[in-house]
Amino acid sequence: MSEEVINTAEELEKKEILKRYRQLLKSAKRVKGKEDRKLIREAFELSVEYHKNMRRKSGEPYIYHPLAVAQIAAEEIGLGATSIACALMHDLVEDTELDLKYITKKFGKSIASIIDGLTKISGVFDEKNSPQAENFRKMLLTLSDDIRVILIKICDRLHNMRTLEYMSRNSQLKIASETLYLYAPLAHRLGIYAIKTEMEDLALKYTEPESYREISKKLSQTKEDRDRFIRSFIRPIKTELSKIGLKFVIKGRPKSIYSIYSKMKKQQVSFEQVYDLFAVRIILESEVEQEKRDCWNAYSVVTSIYKPNTERLRDWVSSPKSNGYESLHITVMGPKGRFVEVQIRTRRMDDIAERGYAAHWKYKENSNEVSNYDNWLNNIREMLENPESNALDFVEEFHTNFLSEEVFVFTPKGELKKLPVKATALDFAFEIHTAIGSTCIGAKVNNRIVPLSHVLNNGDQVEILTSAKQKPNKDWLNYVVTGKAKHGIKSFLKEEKRMAAEMGKEILAKKFKNEKTEFGKDNIQLVSNYFNAPSELDLYYMIAKETIAKKDLKIRQIINESQLLQREHMVQSMKSSSEHKNKLENLRKEHIIIGDDNVKLDFSMAKCCSPIPGDEIIGFITIGEGIKIHRSNCKNAIALMSQYSYRVINSRWASEKPVEPETYETLIKITGIDDIGIVSKITDVISKDLKVNMKTIKFESFDGTFEGTLTVFINDTSHLNDLISAIKSIDPYINVTRQSVD
């Protein structure tokens, strides 16, 4: 390439960078005054300078990425100058020679703190630790100081998802899985619904490309019919809303691709059978003090025109979600017997729903909104202050407690409590107070006595029953999902264990004294190892509870035997540790080809998803069970890739098929209209026509319909598709789906 061409390309890139920078300033509605513009300009110039020799996987200048992240922060969330400056510099400390000291000196402690929260933890992690989990916890720890760290990180993740096409297939799966498991739910709980929806759709595009393409294509094909239907649906609503003097905007929009995919999977139906493919949103122009009245007036108008399904009414106007989301959701029967979801909200509510936390500052005079948000953040801070949980436990707990949907329940006095879905009566007890939870013997739910493990539903009224004689036990951990309840139970058990251990320690000390042996740390450790006690505390506890009998505490004999074993183990350990380290490192680099006899690796198929040839797969290095092979879209695989991506290895099926193909167990579910001989027809097609062996078969009949599950032996996905098509051809009402164990 000539020097002239290179110079021209560089000039074009410089012009494009300036163009994007000007576009950023134009989008930054909250940037006012010279000081704000100066801060953004200095951040931009520093980022351009230190990223000038860096390129992205796409080949574009690296500076395009921080500019895009800042653009999302400014335009799609509505953040201010400090956030935009931090977005422009978010990768400087991690990817260049600049350090936090320089950032602090030039921009101050506040900006340096945000950038520190956005910088990944560097260091060596063994197989028991997850760098992803550690980095996620580090980012969340900044919640106590500045939520902007998380908002910028969400902008960063969204741009990475938008440019994921340039990454390797393995990286696409890891990043998309992590986004589905953590970042999309986090955006949802922060109320940034537009970004949450886009993240989910993009993640589906890479984890389930065929499903994504199919739904996208069908949405496109049905657009004209859908638009025509929406126009006819909203016409009478517009007329009636205008008559009562309301100012409004009505929008019709399709549900997101991910939302439709989730419904298809959950309800096990086809695209055509999803009845609410789109929603109509009514956005009212209302004064704050008239919002509730106007929303319910609009509700009355809609339900006077179309018959509502009262079971599907969701009133988040009277009881907003913990992240401040407010809206009335109703499902009505529209023309041609089609169900339509209608969302009713005001302009303020819609702004908060689309842009989340940042929008709250525009409406800070409404104290109720801020308190809802602050309450949610305070609960997270309470969890962050628990120093005992490791990073992986923390991420799992955070996902369960703060990224899941909520149930709304009431105390006997009518006070509203919000808990995660699947919360139990015992969770509710601990939510009221740790002392109430610790002495809980049961509960009355809607005046009916239920056990501690009873799962609560929306609208339940719960009264907790206590007894001074009651105390927590280990089984209680199986009954709770909230971090507050788990922490309360574990704290009690730990204290009880500590008190018992004190007695055990006294017993052991007397044994040492009787045998005239030093009661020192090294000797105690030898006794712990001899009895396989995980810690010194556990040893004392086992003695107190007589898991270790007093007659077996022959101290001198134990110490002599332990010292001999310790020397032998040390020699063996030195040999095996280097071998294990090399093996783990090699496995990470190895590109496994499943089914190729030349590759001798210890792997097995994961039972949760039962992969078969033709499925896209990943390998996961387990502790003690070799490599587990999962389907890449398996729910468990998505969770694993989101937390342990460094233990995921590329895997694919061998291209050459063996002379005698191996068969794989596959679970299928069949539903349809019950008829005489239907089961016989199905089994004939499977075993006689297609010569497929069956391992298990179970059919049940329900009021004229049937449901069956079969475990069959299949060669590959092509073989499975032929089987499914053959069964469906028996009767037009038969539906067949492949099932996962999970």
| Mean pLDDT computed over 305-333 | 86
Cα dihedral 563, 567, 573, 575 in deg (nearest 10): -170
| Mean pLDDT computed over 680-699 | 87
Q: CATH 1.10.3210.10 spans which residues of the chain?
A: 10-213
Integer Cα distance of 336 and 414 in angstroms: 42
Lowest mean per-residue pLDDT among 265-269, 346-350, 424-428: 265-269
Higher per-residue confidence, 622 vs 367: 622
Instruction: Give the CATH class of 215-371.
Output: alpha beta
Integer Cα distance of 89 and 107 in angstroms: 11
The correct answer on CATH 3.30.70.260 for the domain covering 664-739 is yes
Query: According to the model, what pLDDT value does residue 387 have?
Result: 47
DSSP 8-state assignment for residue 418: E
HEC sequence for 137-186: HHHHHHHHCCCHHHHHHHHHHHHHHHCHHHCCHHHHHHHHHHHHHHHHHH
Integer Cα distance of 18 and 314 in angstroms: 47
Of the residues 16, 75, 95, 536, which is catalytic? 95
Instruction: Pick from 84-88, 560-564, 681-685 the range whose average pLDDT is largest.
Output: 84-88
Instruction: Pick from 349-363, 369-383, 558-572 the range whose average pLDDT is largest.
Output: 349-363
Lowest mean per-residue pLDDT among 283-287, 578-582, 643-647: 578-582
Of the residues 94, 99, 227, 561, which is catalytic? 94
Query: According to the model, what pLDDT value does residue 148 have?
Result: 81
Residue 124: pLDDT over 50: no
* DSSP notation for 311-380: GG-EETTTS--TT----EEEEEE-GGG-EEEEEEEEHHHHHHHHHTHHHHGGGTT-HHHHHHHHHHHHHH
Lowest mean per-residue pLDDT among 85-89, 99-103, 528-532, 537-541: 528-532
Query: According to the model, what pLDDT value does residue 395 have?
Result: 57
Residue 369: pLDDT over 80: no
Integer Cα distance of 203 and 254 in angstroms: 18
With a pLDDT cut of 90, the percent of the chain lying above it is 20
Domain 10-213 fold is Hypothetical protein af1432 (1.10.3210)
Q: For strands 664-673 and 440-445, give the pairing.
A: unpaired
Sheet holding 603-605, edge to edge: 592-594, 648-653, 617-621, 627-631, 603-605
Q: For strands 627-631 and 603-605, give the pairing.
A: parallel
Instruction: Pick from 108-122, 182-196, 372-386, 466-480 the range whose average pLDDT is largest.
Output: 466-480
Task: Give φ, ψ of 616 to 5 degrees.
Answer: -75, 130
Residue 263: pLDDT over 90: no
Query: According to the model, what pLDDT value does residue 536 have?
Result: 80
Query: According to the model, what pLDDT value does residue 286 have?
Result: 92
Integer Cα distance of 144 and 132 in angstroms: 20
Mean of all residue pLDDT scores within the chain? 80
Residue 390: pLDDT over 90: no
Residue 510: pLDDT over 80: yes
Cα dist from 216 to 202, 259, 267, 344, 583, whole Å: 12, 12, 19, 27, 43
Q: CATH 3.30.460.10 spans which residues of the chain?
A: 215-371
Query: For this structure, is 76 an active site residue?
Result: no
Query: According to the model, what pLDDT value does residue 578 have?
Result: 52
Integer Cα distance of 135 and 391 in angstroms: 9
Task: Give φ, ψ of 474 to 5 degrees.
Answer: -60, -35
Q: Is the pTM of this model over 0.95?
A: no
Residue 683: pLDDT over 70: yes
Query: For this structure, is 95 an active site residue?
Result: yes
Residue 404: pLDDT over 70: no
Query: According to the model, what pLDDT value does residue 458 have?
Result: 79
With a pLDDT cut of 70, the percent of the chain lying above it is 81
Residues in the chain: 742
Query: According to the model, what pLDDT value does residue 715 have?
Result: 86
| Mean pLDDT computed over 432-437 | 89
| Mean pLDDT computed over 54-75 | 90
Task: Give φ, ψ of 125 to 5 degrees.
Answer: -120, 135
| Mean pLDDT computed over 357-364 | 54
Query: According to the model, what pLDDT value does residue 6 have?
Result: 53
Query: According to the model, what pLDDT value does residue 658 have?
Result: 60
Residue type (1 letter), 98: L
Band the pLDDT of 502: cuts 50, 70, 90.
confident
Residue-wise pLDDT for 597-645, tens only, equals: 455 566 788 888 888 888 888 888 776 677 888 888 888 888 777 777 7
Q: CATH 3.30.70.260 spans which residues of the chain?
A: 664-739
| Mean pLDDT computed over 424-447 | 90
